[in-house]
Amino acid sequence: MMGMLTQAGAELTPAADDADVIVVNTCSFIGSAQQESVDTILEMARHKTAGKAKRLVVAGCLVERFRDEIRKDIPEVDAVVGTGELPTILAAAGVSSSPTAPSPFNILTSRPEGDHRRSHGRFSRDGWDGAVSDLPNYLYDDHTPRLLTTPSYSAYIKIAEGCDHPCSFCIIPQLRGQFRSRRFESVIAEAEHLAQSGVREITLIGQDTTCYGEDLGLKDGLPLLLEKLAAVDGLRWIRFLYAYPNKITRRLLETIAAHENICSYIDVPLQHASPSVLKRMKRGGGGDLFLRSIEKMRRVILDVTLRTSFIVGFPGETEKEFDELCDFVREARFDWMGTFGYSDQEGASAFGLDEKLPAQDIESRRKKLMSIQKKISQGKKKSLVGREYDLLLMGPSEETDLLLEGRTAMHAPEIDGKVFVNDYPSKDFPADEAPQKGQFYRCRITEAHDYDLVAEII
Ligand code: SF4
């Protein structure tokens, strides 16, 4: 949206006080995200009433979920833009008229799983007031104007949109539509443009990156894409996030292992480890199966960094099932782990389940699981002291000017810990000889904290 607006002549500002048009891009994944979105819309509505702004536009997933309510309950909102209607941002912002015809970027592909689940109501939005019946089908491509909001050396590339999985706690498929992949050549072309403009680190995202290409008739779509990206000049770190557990194939692991510029890093949200909870989550699998899969990842990719996330307090989760999850975490020894308390979502099939757990029980389980992981993390980080890594320097530390900070290939942008740099060879020299942000340096780890590291550039 920012790329399209800029191309159409709009000037962007992050300051609501300066804006003629305010756009609030929203999330609607879980209750707290919906609340944050609504609070921000109300705050911006006050800006419109009291300040310079003449238009207020609400975009994103909250629009897919509460289209009519937003318009009815917040009269200051002038226009809404759903996740499938991105080109209409121009008309919504009053920058220029935009076509009402389908976006030229739409690509109509689907997977048999998605078509089957659609015919069984997985994507139904019947109970949602004002939801348009057409599911979002938008996909950007390499010709879509784009404005990077990340530092100039790092970029995300969305390779697919939507999701065909039936996870019973999740409404993302209804918000984002059926799974569809961007064309192979389009992703490569975008990566080449980004690399030419100075991007050195690419993070591939999508609701499920490991299904990439299945709707295009590609077998091993993600490994093939990674191989092509690894050959793009200038890309130093390539990684993908959000793998689905049963889609991590040997071919994918071997592709990661075979390329120096594909990070030895796998992010696989497992959500739980108890087979009975996973069954109620409509995900399948279980701790034993996951441990075998993790063992294979560690065998094929030496020094692989593993990240996962879990949901605790799913309806009916017993003490015994939660203990199974704790035991699994102790055994799997992840490098990075996130834990979320179950959030009840109207429209998700788990919403109808009995035996909802009290909020305080969910929170105490969340804390307990994180305290188990904290000890594992301490041990893992300690074992890195004395080892050498390539470090991507991000600039002065956000915590103190006395330190620099950066990341290694073990750290995905924004979600994992950091490496603080407290020493480098030219420290006593003029400032212009100091290490530069966006550049890679060899470093030695000198200290370990619970999640963060301290290093010296060598
Ligand atoms: S795979 Fe992820 S996005 Fe898809 S339904 Fe499951 S939790 Fe939601």
pTM value? 0.94
Distance 267 CA to ligand 1 centre (A): 14
Q: Is 315 helix (H, G, I), strand (E, B) or coil?
A: coil
Distance 42 CA to ligand 1 centre (A): 29
Substitution site in 113, 122, 169, 170 for ligand 1 pocket (most atoms within 8 Å of beta carbon): 170
Distance 269 CA to ligand 1 centre (A): 10
181 with 221: CB under 8 angstroms?
A: yes
- Residues with Cβ within 8 Å of 125's Cβ and at least 6 positions away in sequence, in order, are 64, 131, 133, 174, 347
Among residues 326, 322, 346, the alpha carbon closest in space to that of 169 is found at 346
pLDDT of residue 97: 56
- Give backbone dihedrals phi and psi of 445, rounded to 5 degrees, phi first: -75, 130
Flag residues of the chain having pLDDT under 50: 99-102, 104
- Give backbone dihedrals phi and psi of 383, rounded to 5 degrees, phi first: -70, -10
Ligand 1 atom nearest to CA at 171: 8
Q: Helix H segments across 197-348? A: 221-230, 250-258, 275-280, 287-300, 319-332
Residues within a 6 A CB radius of ligand 1:
163, 165, 167, 170, 172-173, 207-208
Among residues 37, 32, 61, the alpha carbon closest in space to that of 340 is found at 32
Distance 179 CA to ligand 1 centre (A): 11
Q: Give CA–CA dist 316/279, Å, rounded.
A: 12
Residue with tokens 């019946």: 133
Q: Give CA–CA dist 138/84, Å, rounded.
A: 5
pLDDT of residue 427: 75
Q: Give CA–CA dist 156/171, Å, rounded.
A: 23
pLDDT of residue 107: 55
Q: Give CA–CA dist 109/216, Å, rounded.
A: 7
Substitution site in 28, 207, 277 for ligand 1 pocket (most atoms within 8 Å of beta carbon): 207
pLDDT of residue 109: 79
Burial class of residue 196, CB neighbours in 10 A (0-12, 13-18, 19+): exposed
pLDDT of residue 434: 82
Residue nearest ligand 1's atom 2 by CA: 207
pLDDT of residue 106: 53
Distance 166 CA to ligand 1 centre (A): 7
Substitution site in 176, 180, 208 for ligand 1 pocket (most atoms within 8 Å of beta carbon): 208
